[in-house]
């Protein structure tokens, strides 16, 4: 902790430690939950027998992904941002869109990837509890901007 601050700073290895976000049965029943993992707001989904965790705010404009609907798109489970209908895969965080290739004779749009736009996190289940470990990818991902904007800080009382 910084002597002049009441905000606790976490070491890099502390940020990588798993954090319990709830009971397995509760999250399965609710299908989703939000949690603060260290200082990052995440959403945990339970869909088709699997847990997924992503940054809670959409990479495009900070929309609340925990309020979105999950749809299967092109064989992949995706969260649909409630603000602008951006489609994000739950497994990789890729942004998906439909496009027509003008060089192909078919006028049927095909699903394409914008690349990884939303940071995903690792979920583990142990003894009936669900844990999230923040992503260890050091590259900047588009959702990092909104994760910082909506950052949760851990306040501790000042020491005298």
Whether 7 is covered by a domain: the verdict is no
Q: How many CA atoms lie within 13 A of 116 on its CB side?
A: 14
Whether 157 is covered by a domain: the verdict is no
Domain region containing 17: 12-149
Q: What total number of domains does the chain contain?
A: 1
Identify the CATH number of the domain in which residue 24 sits: 2.102.10.10
DSSP state of 104: S
Asked whether the whole model's pTM tops 0.75, one would answer yes
Question: Which regions of the chain does DSSP assign to beta strands (E)?
Answer: 19-23, 32-37, 40-47, 50-55, 69-73, 76-80, 87-89, 94-99, 110-116, 120-126, 129-133
Distance separating alpha carbons of residues 35 and 47, to the nearest angstrom = 17
pLDDT per position as a tens digit, 56-74: 999 999 999 999 999 999 9
Whether 159 is covered by a domain: the verdict is no
Residue 7's pLDDT is 40
Whether 82 is covered by a domain: the verdict is yes
Whether 131 is covered by a domain: the verdict is yes
């Amino acid at each position: 902790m910084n002597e002049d601050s009441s905000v606790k700073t976490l070491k890099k290895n502390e940020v990588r430690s798993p954090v319990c976000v709830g009971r397995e049965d509760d999250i399965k029943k609710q299908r989703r939950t939000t949690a603060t993992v260290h200082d990052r707001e995440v959403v945990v989904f339970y869909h088709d027998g699997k847990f997924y965790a992503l940054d809670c705010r959409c990479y495009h404009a900070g929309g609340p992904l925990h309020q979105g609907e999950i749809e299967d798109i092109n064989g992949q489970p995706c969260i649909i941002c409630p603000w602008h209908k951006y489609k994000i895969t739950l497994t990789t965080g890729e942004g998906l869109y439909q496009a027509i290739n003008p060089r192909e004779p078919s006028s049927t749009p095909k699903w394409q990837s914008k690349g990884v736009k939303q940071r995903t996190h690792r979920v583990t289940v142990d003894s009936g509890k669900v844990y999230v470990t923040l992503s260890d990818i050091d590259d900047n991902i588009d959702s990092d901007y909104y994760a910082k904007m909506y950052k949760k800080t851990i306040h501790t009382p000042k020491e005298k």
